[in-house]
Structures are given as structure tokens and as C-alpha cells.
Amino acid sequence: MIGEASHAASFDCDKAKAPDEKAVCANRTLNDLDVSMALLYKLDRRFLPMGGRDALIGQQQTWLKKRSQCAADVTCLTDIYQQRIQVLQQIIDTRVVTQGPF
């Protein structure tokens, strides 16, 4: 399908095996949330100092475990993505925008 192929999750949907990954690949809204979350995560990693990056990576790993607990529950996945996006956006708003990367 063209619509499904146009999804651009932050991971390879052809290799998705876990229920949460398959749900993200199958649902346009979840897919869009995943892309937004991944972009914010990459920006945060780039602009945080080294100690902050390590903490962010650990938080992301914890978040991924929580996401996997949602399995294919779209409501659960939507909620957890929205929460993570809010946290990642707050890092940008408070750290990068107000203090700058310098």
C-alpha cells in the first residue's frame, strides 16, 4: 500500500516485531507522534551537555520499556508518546531556548 509505505517511523517498520512497534507502524497518528518524539530526542541529545545526554539516554531507555508495556493498545501508546513529547519539548524550551547551546 502506498499509504503504509509513506509512514516514516523512527525505526524500520519492515523489521518491527514487538506489538508496540507494529502498532506504531500501522497507525498514522502513532507514526506521526513517533517521528515528532524522535526529532525532539535527537535535538535534545545534540544540545545537552555530556552529563545531560547520558541522563537523557537512560530516560529514553526507560521510556522505551514503558512503551513496550502498552503492547498494541493505541490509547496507551498515544498517551505515553504525548507525555514523552511534552518532556522532550520542555528540555528544549528550558535548556536550549533560554540558555542556548553555548
pLDDT for res 9: 84
> Do residues 34 and 23 touch, judged by C-beta distance below 8 A?
no
Residue spans of the domains in the chain: they are 17-38+72-102
Q: pTM of the full predicted structure?
A: 0.86
**In this structure, are residues 88 and 38 in contact, taking their beta carbons and an 8 Å threshold?**
no
In tens, the pLDDT along 16-52 reads: 999 999 999 999 999 999 999 999 999 999 988 888 9
pLDDT digits (tens, 9 = 90+) for 87-100: 999 999 987 666 65
Question: Which pLDDT score, from 0 to 100, does residue 2 have?
Answer: 35
57-65: long-range pairs with CB below 8 Å, 24+: 59/87
